[in-house]
Amino acid sequence: MKDKKIISLISLIFFSTVLINITPTRAIIKDQTISTIAEKDTYVNTDEALSNFGGQDYALGGFYFGGDIVEAYFFFNFSDKPSTYTKAEISLDFWSVSQTMNVSIYLIEEEWDEYSMTWINKPSKGAEITSIIITQSDIYTINVTNFIAGRNNLSICVYIKVENYVNDYFYITTREGFYSWAPEDAPQLIWTYPGNVEITVTNPTSSSNWLELNIYTIQWTSTGDIDNVKIELYKGALFVEEITSVLGYTINDGTYDFYVSIAENYDGTDYRIKISDFDDPNVYGYSGYFSINVRSGTMTITSPTSSSSWQAGTIKSITWTSTGNLLNVDIEIYKGAVLMYYIYDVSNLGIKLWDIDAAIEIGTDWRIKISNSDNSAQYDWSDYFEIYNARDGGAISGYDFYIILMISIISLTIITRKIKK
C-alpha cells in the first residue's frame, strides 16, 4: 500500500513538472531566403539588329523563325544581399518550351542600358557560368554563388550556342511581365542565409477569459520564413483539439478568429494556444495559461452584519451583491477559524436561505465567506455575528417573531370587537 502511494506521488510530481515546464517557444536556426527582382532585362535579335526590346513582358532566347539569333539579358543589384549568405541563385521562368534545349548562361562584365541596347551595341560575353537543359516550361535556377565575391551587381546573358542549335526558341518572364499573385515567376536573385525562425503568441494572455458563444481573435508574431501555421488548443499538457482542422493550417498573417462553442464543454483556467509552423513542427510557440468559461467578478456580503443576531432553529437569509459575470458562488460558514458548513455552486442570485440547525453551537464568532465558484481567489467575508439559543434570550427573530406577530394581531382583533359590542 505504501509503495502505491509513493508511485502516485512520483506520478503527480512528474505531471506537475511537465505542466510547468512546457517550453513557451521553440525557435530554430534554418535556411531563410530573400529575393531581389531584376533591375534591368531585355533581349536582342539579329533580324532586327537596330531594334530595342526593353520594357517587354518577356525576353526571347534561342533561334527565332528562320535562324535569327535571340539572346536574353538580365541585371541584378546586391542591395538585399545578407551578410551571412550561403548561396546565391538566379531564378528564371521559362515558358512556351516545346522541346529539349541546351541553354548557356554567360557572365556580362560591361554596362548596358535596357532601353537602348540592340544587337549592334550589345555587351561582350564574359565567363560561362553554367549551362542548363530545359525540357519543359518551368522555373529554373542557376547557382551563381561563386560569382558574387567582390561584386555589387551581376549581369548575365541567356542564349543557345550555335553548336547547340535547335530550330526553336523560348520565352522568359521579365520584371514587367509577372503577376502580383505569382511573384515566383519574376526574374530574381535569391539569397539563402541562416536565420532565426520563431513564433510568439501574443493573444490570449494570462488575463484572458473566453466565454462560450463568443468569437475571440488569436494573435501571434513570427520571424523567419513561415508561410502557414497550425493552431491547437491544450488544457494543461493535454491536447484538446486542432483549431485549424478544416484545412489543417491557416496563412501566417498573425490573426485567426476562434468561436467558443457551447457544445465543447470548455471550462478551466489552464488552457493554452499552441501555434506551429505547418511545414516544420519544430518551430512553435505557446500562449500563457488562460481561462475559458471561468466567470469573474467581485461580491460583497450584505447580510449578516456585525449587528446580526440569529437564533438557532430559524431560517435566515444570507444576502450579497456582485459585479462582473459571476455564475455560481460557494458559501462557507465558519465559527472562529473552523469551517462548520458549506454550500457549493450556489446560483448567483444574491440570496440564499440558511436553515440554522436548532442544535448549532452558539457564539458571537460566527462568520460567512462567499467566493467565486470558478475562482476561489475572489471572495468576501462577512463581519462576525451572533448565533444564540432561544433559552438564552436575545432579540425576537425568525419564525418566533412571525408567530408572536400573528398572535398579537388576532388578540388585538378580538379585543376590538368586544369593545364595539
Q: What is the pLDDT, as a whole number, of residue 296?
A: 82
The enclosing H or E element of 403 equals helix 398-420
Q: How far apart are CA 175 and CA 410, in angstroms?
A: 104
Protein fold of 32-193 = Jelly Rolls (2.60.120)
User: Where do the domains of the chain lie?
Assistant: 32-193, 204-292, 297-403
CB atoms < 10 A from the CB of 3, how many?
A: 7
User: What cell does 132 get?
Assistant: 542548363
Residues 192/87, Cβ–Cβ less than 8 Å: yes
204-292 CATH choice from 1.10.1390, 3.30.70, 2.60.40, 1.10.287? 2.60.40
| pLDDT one-digit tens code per residue, 327-385 | 899 999 999 999 999 999 999 999 999 999 999 999 999 999 999 998 888 999 999 99
User: Is the pTM above the cut of 0.75?
Assistant: no
CA distance 408 to 403: 9
**pLDDT, tens digit, 9 for 90 and up, residues 218-237:** 999 999 989 999 999 999 99
DSSP 146: G
**pLDDT at 67 (0 to 100):** 87
Tens of pLDDT, residues 82-122: 999 999 999 999 999 999 999 999 999 999 999 999 999 99
CATH topology match: 32-193 vs 297-403: no
pLDDT tens digits for range 346-362: 999 999 999 999 999 99
Whole-angstrom Cα Rg for the chain: 41
Dig out the grid coordinates for 80 from the structure: 538585399
pLDDT digits over 17-40, tens only? Answer: 444 445 677 788 889 999 999 999
CATH 3.40.50.2300 is right for the domain spanning 297-403: no
